[in-house]
Amino acid sequence: MKDLLCLGIESTAHTFGAGIVSEDGKIYSDSRDVYIPVIGRGIHPTEAAQHHNIVAPRVILDAFRKADLKPGMIDIIAYSCGPGLGPCLRVGATIARALSTYLCKPLVPVNHAIAHIEIASLNTGAKDPLTVLVSGGHTAIVAYAAGRWRIYGETEDITLGNLLDMFAREVGLPLPGGPEVERLAEMGKIFIDLPYTVKGNDVAYSGLLSAALRKYRDGVDLTDLCFSLQEVAFAMIAEATERSLAHTEKKELLLSGGVAANKRLQGMLESIAREHNVKFYCVDKSLSGDSGVQIAWNGILAYRCGLRIDVEKSLVKSRWRLDQVDIPWRS
């Protein structure tokens, strides 16, 4: 029997991605195209969806070409079912339905957040980690127990990715904001006092965003501000992580999601892991951001447990919390 091959389609937000992964976890291809709004503006859902519509055929064909596979050789079609922006999700879902129908291959819905965690686990070899998922859509500290990923801490307002993006947007930096803020932060020297909000294992970033923007308008040096913003924002999630680690007593710590690419954040969490004698894992930069690969891998995990969906029922769920997803492949 040959290994199952899965095509994963990702379109929750700014990235349209297609990736092919085999049952043994080998990544055959990873093709993406990212919608980038003009400087000073955020993601416009309709514009992003239009972008996805335009690039989709090319991205998918590219995924097959890179993998050196023909569409008929695929066994499973997985699509990002949510959570995310409705118009964007529907582009990926529509294409997945069409491919599934045309190729007569089973269709598997995937939760985008869980897919981030699972690809990070595959990539790093983490078995049962406390996972910090930080991206534009998520800021959550989760661990698996009895059939579900349980949320131990999360943001009570905007996400860490939101914070960096919205700050970058307001001060005229290009999106995604994370890498830009990180670049400028490396040049910052003076620490500026900014509000630090940790509530139990939860964080809240909107107050920090407002305060940082106020400082910017007051003429504070942008590099110092980026430096301080990172220091405070990351220390908050680091503390919440440390609290969750002490509470759950897990032996592994896994950093995943788009913001995982940030070196300063990695350093902070690694330091916590060392302090608590816990093994630290961080997803590779190539797999931290949104991709079809994560959807494909999760598609395989789900399919092997018998999960699939009829095309007629394959609606998208723009609100689909990761703690609402049954995880049969981990039990």
Task: Give the C-alpha distances (Å, rounded to integers) separating 293 from 41, 55, 80, 301.
Answer: 28, 17, 11, 13
State the virtual CA torsion across 126, 131, 132, 134 in degrees, nearest 10: 80
Closest C-alpha among 261, 331, 326 to residue 109: 326
The H or E element spanning position 230 is helix 222-248
The smaller minimum CB distance to another protein, of residues 286 and 324, is found at 324
Q: Considering only residues 276, 279, 329, 330, which one is a binding residue for another protein as defined by CB under 8 A? A: 276
Q: Is 283 in the site for another protein (CB under 8 A)?
A: no
Q: Considering only residues 41, 191, 214, 331, which one is a binding residue for another protein as defined by CB under 8 A? A: 191
C-alpha–C-alpha distance, residues 162 and 134, integer Å: 10
The smaller minimum CB distance to another protein, of residues 196 and 329, is found at 196
Q: Is 238 in the site for another protein (CB under 8 A)?
A: yes
Q: Considering only residues 44, 66, 169, 243, which one is a binding residue for another protein as defined by CB under 8 A? A: 243
- Provide, rounded to whole angstroms, the least separation between the CB of residue 240 and another protein: 9
The smaller minimum CB distance to another protein, of residues 66 and 251, is found at 251
Q: Is 251 in the site for another protein (CB under 8 A)?
A: no
Contact letters for another protein, residues 59-88 (x by CB under 8 A): -----------------------xx-----
Residues 6+ apart with CB under 8 A from 24: 3
Stretch near another protein under the rule CB under 8 A, chosen from 47-55, 63-71, 124-132, 146-154: 146-154
Unique residue bearing structure tokens 């995310």? 84
C-alpha–C-alpha distance, residues 293 and 315, integer Å: 21
Q: Is 279 in the site for another protein (CB under 8 A)?
A: no
How many Cβ atoms are within 10 Å of 183's Cβ, its own excluded?
A: 12
